[in-house]
Amino acid sequence: MTLILGIETSCDETAAAVVEDGQRILSNVVASQIDIHRRYGGVFPEVASRQHVLSITPVVEEAVVEARVSWNDLEAVAVTYGPGLAGSLLVGVNAAKGIALGCGLPLLGINHIEAHIYANWLPPLPPPQLWGGKRGGGEEPSIVFPVLCLVVSGGHTELILMSGHGQYQRLGGTLDDAAGEAFDKVGRLLGLDYPGGPAIEQAAQYGDPTAFDLPRAWLGDSYNFSFSGLKTAVLRVVKAHEGQLPVVDLAASFQIAVVDVLVEKAKRAAQEHHAEQILLAGGVAANKLLRQEMARRSDLPVLCPPIPLCTDNAAMVAGAAYFRYQVGYRSGWDLDVIPNLKLGSSRI
């Protein structure tokens, strides 16, 4: 039995978790700063890092207490060291170093994008939900490589082919805004609450997705994405409807425009690279339309993390760390934050 303490502070959630053998969550504590950043309509980096400083100790302590383990039971400390906001990442990395040194444990720096992907391995009970595709009938989902990962969050929109644990090939990504960022910016244009993703999803329930014919940036055969034109198109509609904005119709039309591009590109990438499954990850993977459309339009099984584990948390960090720990990966005490860390050609 391997117990790993995971720590996540890359953006605006201070999180700590204890996970057993990469799959059993013993505790998962997330202190969200959303209420603090709401007044700015987005994450204010300086405020975020100060808030992490205030929250990190109680959050880690709570994770250990809630897991009903002692510090001596832990086998390693894992922490997100990038990508993310430098000042925020530093708080988590330094806390992790202190704990690891103090307890005599190894330290593992984990890539945040990889951690999002490993949310699909959590937790076995109940198993990650399997949507549509070839499997079904109560059969437990298991991940079969190669898998095509669509990682969509506030900071990333990445298509990654994963051919084994720790083996990634980046096929494409966004050229401008990330999918979640587009949701957040359009949410602001529509006068909706922050963050825009869940607010747009909620408003869109009551809207007509065919009300506005918004642009889809296909970018030819590439696996890249662009959402800035779509955002500008929404702005144009907003300006044209001053005073009587059809918020729910616009939310629904925007949501389907994003989902169309994400689903079609992921589907084509999976086919062209002979993937066995498609795996969604990141905050935007919580979007029900994306989950449903991906499953409906793909012939392959589509796996999604449980909704609460799509957005930032530390269970996914400890989960990803387990698989790296097993093959001997360790970080040095000189581990530094890498705000623009990529995932794409690493092999462990």
Binding region for ligand KG4 (CB under 6 A): 11, 153-155, 180-181, 183-184, 195-198, 201, 282-284, 286-287, 311-312
247 binds, among ligand KG4, Zn ion, none (CB under 5 to 8 A by kind): none
Site membership for Zn ion, residue 153 (CB under 5 A): yes
Q: What CA–CA distance (Å, rounded) separates 102 from 109?
A: 17
Token digits of residue 101: 């040194």
Q: What CA–CA distance (Å, rounded) separates 110 from 80?
A: 5
Total residues at interface with Zn ion (CB under 5 A): 2
Site membership for Zn ion, residue 312 (CB under 5 A): yes
Minimum distance from residue 310 beta carbon to Zn ion (Å): 9
Q: How far are the Cα atoms of 36, 188, 306 from residue 147, in angstroms, in the given order?
A: 37, 34, 18
Residue type present at position 36:
I
Pairing mode, strands 13-20 and 3-8? antiparallel
Minimum distance from residue 169 beta carbon to Zn ion (Å): 21
Angle at CA of residue 119, ends 332 and 303, nearest 5°:
140
Q: What CA–CA distance (Å, rounded) separates 29 from 305?
A: 17
Site membership for Zn ion, residue 13 (CB under 5 A): no
Give the sheet arrangement for strand 76-82, strand by strand: 24-32, 13-20, 3-8, 76-82, 107-111
Site membership for Zn ion, residue 177 (CB under 5 A): no
Closest to ligand KG4 by CB, 41 or 166: 41
Site membership for Zn ion, residue 249 (CB under 5 A): no
Q: What CA–CA distance (Å, rounded) separates 326 from 323?
A: 5
Minimum distance from residue 327 beta carbon to ligand KG4 (Å): 25
158 binds, among Zn ion, ligand KG4, none (CB under 5 to 8 A by kind): none
284 binds, among ligand KG4, Zn ion, none (CB under 5 to 8 A by kind): ligand KG4
Find the part of the chain contacting Zn ion (CB under 5 A) among 57-65, 149-157, 183-191, 201-209: 149-157
Interface residues with Zn ion (CB under 5 A) are 153, 312
